[in-house]
Amino acid sequence: MPAPRYRRRAVVRRRRFLAAAIVLLAIVSVVVVVRDLAPASSPPSTTTAPPTTSRPVPSTTTTTLPSPPFAVGTLSFTIVEPSTASQPARDLPTIVRYPATGAPGGPDVPGASPRAGPFPLVVFSQGFDISPEAYAGLLNAWAAAGYVVADPAYPYTSPGAPGGVIRTDIVHHPTDLSYVITSLLSDSARPGGILSDLIAPSRIGVIGQSDGGDVSLAAVANTCCRDARIRAAVILSGAELTWFGGAYFTGPSVPLLVVQGTNDQVMNPVTCSVQLYNQAPEPKYYLSMIGQTHLSAYVPAGPARNEVARVTIDFLNAYLEHSPPALSALARAGDVAGLATITSAPSLAPVAGTCPDAPAG
């Protein structure tokens, strides 16, 4: 007997329902498998992320610090040295040069933003009755090489001193020099200024020319006024001077570079530089500038001043930046045919003549 129509329809519906259930089960299974394969740390997103052009961040990074030459910034102010029982307060107009941001090779820029320090400090002392800024070519070269350079104008020995220049005031200059160092270190330690964190207190050098060389030498080698913070000295046509009192080279000393023109007969002739070099302990270097006079290798632009700049920078790099390659560079830079020779010999042959106002050799 044929099955009723409603039963056939029910069977068809059951078959269709069963087929649909099988398809639905397959879809659910696929979804479960796909979700199981997805990273557990990737949460579902309800928005579409925009495309990105950023590069992946590497696992390690290397920072390359800028290297010399630098642009040069300047800061001008007056350091006031307090009065003592024996003398009134002393004004020390000072220009500070420092490595600055910007393109190197241009003129120095007052108030320019400094490079991130700290940098070694060099205090320069000028010759008698000569403005410190007369040596601007050398001062800029040292600052561009990565040094903070201060050039105080000492009272009574700089041009325009009230009442005229008085050479005997030099006996106060080592104390002036030390006070300049103290003031600049204080400025570097004080937040918020151009000099903040710019000076490395353990890397201080001095450079001086003529009477300024006498001052610089006294500050590192004379018992009268040695400043233990100074770690290296460059003496340009300088000498020992009895006016300071004390004794030379009887205690701790520092690496020394002595520079002298072979035709220098003004105030501190060759005899003076040879005398102080022979008494100094090692390490020491003697740069002889062939045919140069008292100022010709330090003030006017030209090959001689360029030579002094190269050699002094190599010396400072070796002993204030603690760079071994700079010692090799120093030896190479100091020997230029017809222009300069350099030696680090324990002593030099004595030179005939006397050194005015120097202790007996």
User: Taking Cα atoms as reference points, which of 165, 163, 172 lies closest to residue 243?
Assistant: 172
Reported in sequence order, the residue ranges of 134-293 that DSSP labels E, i.e. its strands, are 148-150, 199-209, 230-236, 256-261, 284-289
The structure tokens listed for 152 are: 């105080």
Phi, psi angles (nearest 5°) of residue 25: -60, -40
Fold of 71-343: Rossmann fold (3.40.50)
- Whether 151 and 180 have beta carbons less than 8 Å apart is answered as no
**Each residue's pLDDT expressed in tens, for the chain with a length of 361 residues:** 444 333 333 333 334 433 443 333 333 333 333 333 333 333 333 333 333 333 333 333 444 567 899 999 999 999 999 999 988 999 999 999 999 999 999 999 999 999 999 999 999 999 999 999 999 999 999 999 999 999 999 999 999 988 899 999 999 999 999 999 999 999 999 999 899 999 999 999 999 999 999 999 999 999 999 999 999 999 999 999 999 999 999 988 899 999 999 999 888 999 999 999 999 999 999 999 999 999 999 999 999 999 999 999 999 999 999 999 999 999 999 999 999 999 999 999 989 889 999 998 6
At 309, the amino acid letter reads: A
* C-alpha span between 17 and 10 (Å, rounded): 10
